[in-house]
Protein backbone atom coordinates (compact mmCIF):
# COMPACT_ATOMS: atom_id res chain seq x y z
CA UNK A 1 0.00 0.00 0.00
CA UNK A 2 1.33 3.43 -0.88
CA UNK A 3 2.36 5.56 2.08
CA UNK A 4 -0.31 8.12 1.42
CA UNK A 5 -3.06 5.49 1.21
CA UNK A 6 -1.85 4.03 4.45
CA UNK A 7 -2.04 7.43 6.12
CA UNK A 8 -5.46 8.11 4.63
CA UNK A 9 -6.74 4.83 5.93
CA UNK A 10 -5.34 5.60 9.35
CA UNK A 11 -6.96 9.00 9.50
CA UNK A 12 -10.34 7.87 8.15
CA UNK A 13 -12.07 8.30 11.48
CA UNK A 14 -10.66 11.77 12.01
CA UNK A 15 -11.77 12.65 8.51
CA UNK A 16 -15.37 11.53 8.84
CA UNK A 17 -16.53 14.59 10.76
CA UNK A 18 -14.74 17.01 8.48
CA UNK A 19 -16.05 15.30 5.38
CA UNK A 20 -19.63 15.71 6.48
CA UNK A 21 -19.54 19.47 6.35
CA UNK A 22 -18.53 19.33 2.72
CA UNK A 23 -21.67 17.37 1.93
CA UNK A 24 -24.24 19.68 3.41
CA UNK A 25 -25.84 19.98 0.03
CA UNK A 26 -26.25 23.72 0.41
CA UNK A 27 -24.41 26.94 -0.16
CA UNK A 28 -21.08 28.12 1.14
CA UNK A 29 -22.98 30.31 3.53
CA UNK A 30 -22.64 31.56 7.10
CA UNK A 31 -23.73 28.17 8.39
CA UNK A 32 -21.02 26.39 6.44
CA UNK A 33 -18.31 28.56 8.02
CA UNK A 34 -19.76 28.10 11.48
CA UNK A 35 -19.90 24.36 10.96
CA UNK A 36 -16.34 24.32 9.73
CA UNK A 37 -15.09 26.19 12.78
CA UNK A 38 -17.05 23.93 15.16
CA UNK A 39 -15.81 20.82 13.42
CA UNK A 40 -12.19 21.94 13.65
CA UNK A 41 -12.64 22.63 17.37
CA UNK A 42 -14.31 19.25 17.87
CA UNK A 43 -11.44 17.68 15.93
CA UNK A 44 -9.07 18.60 18.77
CA UNK A 45 -7.25 21.30 16.86
CA UNK A 46 -7.91 23.92 19.51
CA UNK A 47 -10.17 26.99 19.38
CA UNK A 48 -7.42 29.39 18.35
CA UNK A 49 -6.33 27.38 15.32
CA UNK A 50 -9.94 26.67 14.37
CA UNK A 51 -10.85 30.35 14.37
CA UNK A 52 -7.74 31.51 12.59
CA UNK A 53 -7.94 28.86 9.91
CA UNK A 54 -11.65 29.41 9.31
CA UNK A 55 -11.22 33.20 9.04
CA UNK A 56 -8.30 32.87 6.66
CA UNK A 57 -10.07 30.32 4.51
CA UNK A 58 -13.18 32.45 4.37
CA UNK A 59 -11.17 35.40 3.13
CA UNK A 60 -9.37 33.25 0.60
CA UNK A 61 -12.64 31.75 -0.63
CA UNK A 62 -14.09 35.22 -1.21
CA UNK A 63 -10.94 36.50 -2.86
CA UNK A 64 -10.43 33.51 -5.15
CA UNK A 65 -14.09 32.64 -5.58
CA UNK A 66 -13.69 29.13 -4.19
CA UNK A 67 -17.03 27.38 -4.16
CA UNK A 68 -16.70 23.70 -4.87
CA UNK A 69 -15.91 21.06 -2.28
CA UNK A 70 -12.60 20.03 -3.92
CA UNK A 71 -11.45 23.67 -4.04
CA UNK A 72 -12.35 24.30 -0.42
CA UNK A 73 -10.87 21.02 0.76
CA UNK A 74 -7.63 21.75 -1.00
CA UNK A 75 -7.45 25.28 0.43
CA UNK A 76 -8.26 23.95 3.91
CA UNK A 77 -5.55 21.29 3.72
CA UNK A 78 -3.02 23.88 2.57
CA UNK A 79 -3.98 26.34 5.30
CA UNK A 80 -3.85 23.66 8.03
CA UNK A 81 -0.45 22.50 6.78
CA UNK A 82 0.89 26.02 7.42
CA UNK A 83 0.16 25.55 11.13
CA UNK A 84 2.99 23.02 11.45
CA UNK A 85 6.45 24.41 12.15
CA UNK A 86 9.11 22.88 9.91
CA UNK A 87 11.90 20.81 11.41
CA UNK A 88 15.23 22.56 11.02
CA UNK A 89 17.04 19.27 11.28
CA UNK A 90 15.77 15.71 11.16
CA UNK A 91 17.52 13.89 14.03
CA UNK A 92 17.18 10.50 12.32
CA UNK A 93 18.79 11.38 9.04
CA UNK A 94 21.28 14.10 10.11
CA UNK A 95 23.97 11.80 11.44
CA UNK A 96 25.62 11.19 13.81
CA UNK A 97 22.77 11.67 16.20
CA UNK A 98 21.52 10.59 19.62
CA UNK A 99 17.78 10.70 20.31
CA UNK A 100 16.12 10.34 23.69
CA UNK A 101 12.48 9.21 23.65
CA UNK A 102 10.28 10.49 26.47
CA UNK A 103 6.56 10.41 27.20
CA UNK A 104 3.83 9.02 29.40
CA UNK A 105 3.26 5.30 29.94
CA UNK A 106 2.12 3.44 26.88
CA UNK A 107 2.60 6.33 24.45
CA UNK A 108 4.60 4.11 22.08
CA UNK A 109 8.23 4.99 22.92
CA UNK A 110 9.66 1.48 22.87
CA UNK A 111 7.76 0.52 19.72
CA UNK A 112 8.94 3.69 17.98
CA UNK A 113 12.57 3.03 18.95
CA UNK A 114 12.19 -0.48 17.51
CA UNK A 115 10.64 0.72 14.26
CA UNK A 116 13.32 3.37 13.76
CA UNK A 117 16.15 0.97 14.55
CA UNK A 118 14.76 -1.50 12.01
CA UNK A 119 14.30 1.12 9.30
CA UNK A 120 17.73 2.75 9.68
CA UNK A 121 19.56 -0.54 10.13
CA UNK A 122 17.99 -1.65 6.83
CA UNK A 123 19.34 1.51 5.24
CA UNK A 124 22.84 0.56 6.36
CA UNK A 125 23.09 3.06 9.24
CA UNK A 126 25.15 1.89 12.24
CA UNK A 127 22.51 2.01 14.99
CA UNK A 128 22.66 1.40 18.72
CA UNK A 129 19.70 1.11 21.09
CA UNK A 130 19.93 2.26 24.70
CA UNK A 131 17.51 0.88 27.26
CA UNK A 132 17.17 3.53 29.95
CA UNK A 133 13.82 2.14 31.07
CA UNK A 134 15.18 0.14 33.97
CA UNK A 135 11.94 0.54 35.87
CA UNK A 136 10.21 -2.61 34.62
CA UNK A 137 11.92 -5.92 33.82
CA UNK A 138 9.46 -6.43 30.97
CA UNK A 139 10.56 -3.14 29.40
CA UNK A 140 14.11 -4.42 28.93
CA UNK A 141 12.83 -7.66 27.37
CA UNK A 142 10.44 -5.79 25.08
CA UNK A 143 13.29 -3.61 23.85
CA UNK A 144 15.52 -6.64 23.34
CA UNK A 145 12.84 -8.30 21.21
CA UNK A 146 12.72 -5.17 19.05
CA UNK A 147 16.53 -5.08 18.92
CA UNK A 148 16.66 -8.67 17.65
CA UNK A 149 13.94 -8.00 15.13
CA UNK A 150 15.83 -4.96 13.88
CA UNK A 151 19.26 -6.57 14.03
CA UNK A 152 20.48 -3.81 16.35
CA UNK A 153 22.28 -4.26 19.65
CA UNK A 154 20.65 -3.08 22.85
CA UNK A 155 22.70 -1.71 25.73
CA UNK A 156 21.01 -1.60 29.08
CA UNK A 157 21.39 -2.48 32.74
CA UNK A 158 19.56 -4.70 35.18
CA UNK A 159 16.22 -3.65 36.55
CA UNK A 160 16.50 -0.82 39.07
CA UNK A 161 19.70 0.57 37.53
CA UNK A 162 20.16 4.34 37.29
CA UNK A 163 18.76 5.49 33.93
CA UNK A 164 21.24 8.39 33.63
CA UNK A 165 24.13 5.93 34.07
CA UNK A 166 22.69 3.76 31.30
CA UNK A 167 22.76 6.77 28.98
CA UNK A 168 26.37 7.41 29.95
CA UNK A 169 27.31 3.79 29.15
CA UNK A 170 25.38 3.84 25.88
CA UNK A 171 27.11 7.00 24.72
CA UNK A 172 30.49 5.54 25.72
CA UNK A 173 29.78 2.45 23.67
CA UNK A 174 28.44 4.46 20.76
CA UNK A 175 31.64 6.44 20.65
CA UNK A 176 33.83 3.34 20.87
CA UNK A 177 31.93 1.68 18.01
CA UNK A 178 31.38 4.70 15.84
CA UNK A 179 27.59 4.34 16.00
CA UNK A 180 25.81 6.83 13.80
CA UNK A 181 22.31 6.71 15.26
CA UNK A 182 21.79 6.17 18.98
CA UNK A 183 18.19 5.63 20.07
CA UNK A 184 17.55 5.75 23.82
CA UNK A 185 14.28 4.51 25.29
CA UNK A 186 13.21 5.90 28.67
CA UNK A 187 10.59 4.77 31.18
CA UNK A 188 7.08 6.13 30.77
CA UNK A 189 6.01 8.55 33.45
CA UNK A 190 3.19 10.88 34.30
CA UNK A 191 3.84 14.50 33.50
CA UNK A 192 2.20 15.28 36.82
CA UNK A 193 4.91 13.56 38.87
CA UNK A 194 7.60 16.13 39.77
CA UNK A 195 9.99 13.48 41.09
CA UNK A 196 9.90 11.41 37.91
CA UNK A 197 10.20 14.50 35.75
CA UNK A 198 13.30 15.54 37.71
CA UNK A 199 14.78 12.10 37.12
CA UNK A 200 14.17 12.53 33.40
CA UNK A 201 15.70 16.01 33.42
CA UNK A 202 18.83 14.41 34.89
CA UNK A 203 18.84 11.77 32.14
CA UNK A 204 18.71 14.50 29.52
CA UNK A 205 21.38 16.60 31.24
CA UNK A 206 23.81 13.72 31.66
CA UNK A 207 23.29 12.63 28.05
CA UNK A 208 23.86 16.11 26.68
CA UNK A 209 26.99 16.49 28.80
CA UNK A 210 28.48 13.12 27.88
CA UNK A 211 27.61 13.15 24.20
CA UNK A 212 30.01 14.38 21.55
CA UNK A 213 27.19 14.11 19.00
CA UNK A 214 23.96 16.17 18.93
CA UNK A 215 21.32 15.01 21.41
CA UNK A 216 17.66 15.46 20.51
CA UNK A 217 14.80 14.98 22.97
CA UNK A 218 11.67 13.67 21.32
CA UNK A 219 8.29 13.54 23.03
CA UNK A 220 6.19 10.57 21.95
CA UNK A 221 2.47 11.30 22.12
CA UNK A 222 -0.42 8.89 21.71
CA UNK A 223 -2.94 10.67 19.45
CA UNK A 224 -5.85 8.82 21.05
CA UNK A 225 -5.31 10.79 24.29
CA UNK A 226 -6.64 13.91 22.53
CA UNK A 227 -6.61 17.06 24.64
CA UNK A 228 -4.74 15.32 27.44
CA UNK A 229 -1.89 14.91 24.99
CA UNK A 230 -1.67 18.67 24.82
CA UNK A 231 -1.33 18.94 28.60
CA UNK A 232 1.36 16.26 28.62
CA UNK A 233 3.24 18.05 25.89
CA UNK A 234 3.20 21.35 27.79
CA UNK A 235 4.52 19.76 30.99
CA UNK A 236 7.23 17.73 29.28
CA UNK A 237 8.28 20.76 27.29
CA UNK A 238 8.51 22.94 30.40
CA UNK A 239 10.60 20.34 32.22
CA UNK A 240 12.87 19.19 29.40
CA UNK A 241 12.86 21.64 26.53
CA UNK A 242 11.63 19.16 23.95
CA UNK A 243 13.03 19.36 20.41
CA UNK A 244 10.19 17.69 18.55
CA UNK A 245 7.39 15.18 18.52
CA UNK A 246 6.41 11.77 17.31
CA UNK A 247 2.65 11.24 17.27
CA UNK A 248 1.62 7.59 17.47
CA UNK A 249 -1.58 5.58 17.03
CA UNK A 250 -2.92 7.79 14.27
CA UNK A 251 -4.40 4.61 12.81
CA UNK A 252 -7.99 4.28 13.82
CA UNK A 253 -8.32 7.37 16.02
CA UNK A 254 -10.86 10.11 15.58
CA UNK A 255 -8.46 12.52 17.27
CA UNK A 256 -5.86 12.99 14.55
CA UNK A 257 -6.45 16.74 14.70
CA UNK A 258 -4.62 16.86 18.02
CA UNK A 259 -1.39 16.81 15.99
CA UNK A 260 -2.36 20.22 14.61
CA UNK A 261 -3.22 21.56 18.07
CA UNK A 262 0.00 20.42 19.75
CA UNK A 263 2.32 21.48 16.95
CA UNK A 264 0.70 24.91 16.95
CA UNK A 265 0.55 25.41 20.68
CA UNK A 266 4.13 24.35 21.38
CA UNK A 267 5.65 25.36 18.08
CA UNK A 268 7.36 21.99 17.80
CA UNK A 269 8.04 20.00 14.63
CA UNK A 270 6.65 16.49 14.17
CA UNK A 271 9.45 14.18 13.06
CA UNK A 272 7.51 10.96 12.48
CA UNK A 273 4.01 9.53 12.89
CA UNK A 274 3.01 6.07 14.02
CA UNK A 275 0.23 4.38 12.05
CA UNK A 276 0.26 0.85 13.43
CA UNK A 277 2.05 -1.67 15.63
CA UNK A 278 4.27 -3.26 13.00
CA UNK A 279 7.89 -2.44 12.20
CA UNK A 280 6.97 -0.63 8.98
CA UNK A 281 4.18 1.43 10.50
CA UNK A 282 6.15 4.62 11.02
CA UNK A 283 6.16 7.42 8.50
CA UNK A 284 8.09 10.59 7.91
CA UNK A 285 5.78 13.49 8.61
CA UNK A 286 4.71 15.57 5.66
CA UNK A 287 2.38 18.37 6.78
CA UNK A 288 0.49 18.77 3.52
CA UNK A 289 0.05 15.05 3.00
CA UNK A 290 -1.12 14.69 6.58
CA UNK A 291 -3.62 17.54 6.24
CA UNK A 292 -4.93 16.17 2.96
CA UNK A 293 -5.52 12.83 4.62
CA UNK A 294 -7.24 14.64 7.49
CA UNK A 295 -9.49 16.76 5.31
CA UNK A 296 -10.19 14.23 2.57
CA UNK A 297 -10.04 14.85 -1.13
CA UNK A 298 -13.06 13.11 -2.59
CA UNK A 299 -14.90 14.70 -5.48
CA UNK A 300 -18.19 16.44 -5.02
CA UNK A 301 -19.94 19.78 -4.91
CA UNK A 302 -21.13 21.53 -1.82
N1 LIG B 1 -2.20 1.07 16.75
C2 LIG B 1 -0.98 1.49 17.14
N3 LIG B 1 -0.44 0.97 18.25
C4 LIG B 1 0.77 1.42 18.61
C5 LIG B 1 1.47 2.40 17.87
N6 LIG B 1 2.65 2.63 18.51
C7 LIG B 1 2.65 1.82 19.60
N8 LIG B 1 1.53 1.09 19.67
C9 LIG B 1 1.13 0.11 20.71
O10 LIG B 1 0.97 0.76 21.93
C11 LIG B 1 1.32 -0.09 23.01
C12 LIG B 1 2.33 0.59 23.91
O13 LIG B 1 3.51 0.78 23.16
P14 LIG B 1 4.95 0.86 23.85
O15 LIG B 1 5.92 1.09 22.77
O16 LIG B 1 5.18 -0.28 24.76
O17 LIG B 1 4.76 2.18 24.70
P18 LIG B 1 5.80 2.85 25.72
O19 LIG B 1 5.66 4.31 25.57
O20 LIG B 1 7.15 2.28 25.53
O21 LIG B 1 5.19 2.39 27.11
P22 LIG B 1 5.92 2.40 28.55
O23 LIG B 1 7.27 1.82 28.37
O24 LIG B 1 5.04 1.58 29.42
O25 LIG B 1 5.93 3.82 29.00
C26 LIG B 1 1.84 -1.36 22.38
O27 LIG B 1 0.82 -2.33 22.38
C28 LIG B 1 2.19 -0.96 20.95
O29 LIG B 1 2.08 -2.01 20.03
C30 LIG B 1 0.86 2.93 16.68
O31 LIG B 1 1.36 3.81 15.97
N32 LIG B 1 -0.38 2.45 16.37
MG1 LIG C 1 8.45 1.41 26.83
For the stretch 8-30, pLDDT in tens is: 777 887 777 777 777 655 568 88
> Does any ligand 1 atom lie closer than 6 A to the CB of residue 222?
no
> Does any ligand 1 atom lie closer than 6 A to the CB of residue 223?
no
Nearest protein Cα to ligand 1, atom 6:
108
Domain 3-84 in this protein, CATH class: mainly alpha
Nearest protein Cα to ligand 1, atom 21:
106
pTM of this structure: 0.93
Q: Which ligand 1 atom is the nearest neighbour of the CA of 276?
A: 32
> Does any ligand 1 atom lie closer than 6 A to the CB of residue 111?
yes
Task: Identify the nearest ligand to the CA of 219 by its number.
Answer: 1
111: helix, strand or coil? helix
Q: Residue 251's CB: how many other CB atoms inside 10 A? A: 21
CA separation for the pair 18, 33 (Å, rounded):
12
User: Edge-to-edge, what's the strand order for the sheet holding 127-132?
Assistant: 154-156, 127-132, 181-186, 97-102, 215-222, 244-248, 270-274, 282-284
pLDDT at residue 301 in the model: 42
> Does any ligand 1 atom lie closer than 6 A to the CB of residue 91?
no
**Host H or E run for residue 58:** helix 47-64
Distance 144 CA to ligand 2 centre (A): 11
Same fold, 3-84 and 97-284: no
Q: Which residues contact 176 (CB under 8 A, 6 or more apart)?
A: none
157: helix, strand or coil? coil
> Does any ligand 1 atom lie closer than 6 A to the CB of residue 257?
no
Its sign, for the CA torsion 258, 261, 262, 267, is positive
> Does any ligand 1 atom lie closer than 6 A to the CB of residue 186?
no
Do 184 and 211 form a contact (C-beta atoms < 8 A)?
no
pLDDT at residue 254 in the model: 77
Strands (E), 240-294: 244-248, 270-274, 282-284
Do 295 and 8 form a contact (C-beta atoms < 8 A)?
no
CA separation for the pair 88, 105 (Å, rounded):
28
Probe residue for ligand 1, chosen from 277, 279, 282, 283 as the CB with the greatest number of ligand atoms within 8 Å: 277
Its sign, for the CA torsion 121, 125, 130, 133, is negative
**Given 3-state DSSP classes, what are the helix, strand and coil percentages for the chain, each rounded to the nearest 5?**
50, 15, 35
Give how far Cα 57 sits from Cα of 33, 67, 72, 273, Å. Answer: 9, 12, 8, 26
Mean per-residue pLDDT pooled into runs of 10, the chain (302 residues): 66 76 71 90 89 96 90 93 95 98 97 98 98 90 96 92 95 97 96 93 96 97 90 94 95 86 94 95 94 74 44
Domain assignments of the chain as residue spans, ordered by start: 3-84, 97-284
Q: Residue 30's CB: how many other CB atoms inside 10 A? A: 9
Helix 30-42 and helix 47-64: axis angle, to 10°? Answer: 150
What CATH number is given for 97-284 in this structure?
3.40.50.300
> Does any ligand 1 atom lie closer than 6 A to the CB of residue 189?
no
Distance 156 CA to ligand 2 centre (A): 13
CA separation for the pair 128, 92 (Å, rounded):
12
Distance 251 CA to ligand 2 centre (A): 19
Amino acid sequence: MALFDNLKKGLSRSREALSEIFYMGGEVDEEFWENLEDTLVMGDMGAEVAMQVTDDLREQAARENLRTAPQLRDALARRLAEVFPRAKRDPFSSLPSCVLFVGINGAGKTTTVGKLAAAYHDLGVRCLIGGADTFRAAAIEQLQVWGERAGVEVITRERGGDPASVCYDVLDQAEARGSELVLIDTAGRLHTSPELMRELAKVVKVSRKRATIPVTVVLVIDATTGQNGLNQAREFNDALDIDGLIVTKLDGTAKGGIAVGIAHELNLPIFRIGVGEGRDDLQTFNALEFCRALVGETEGMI
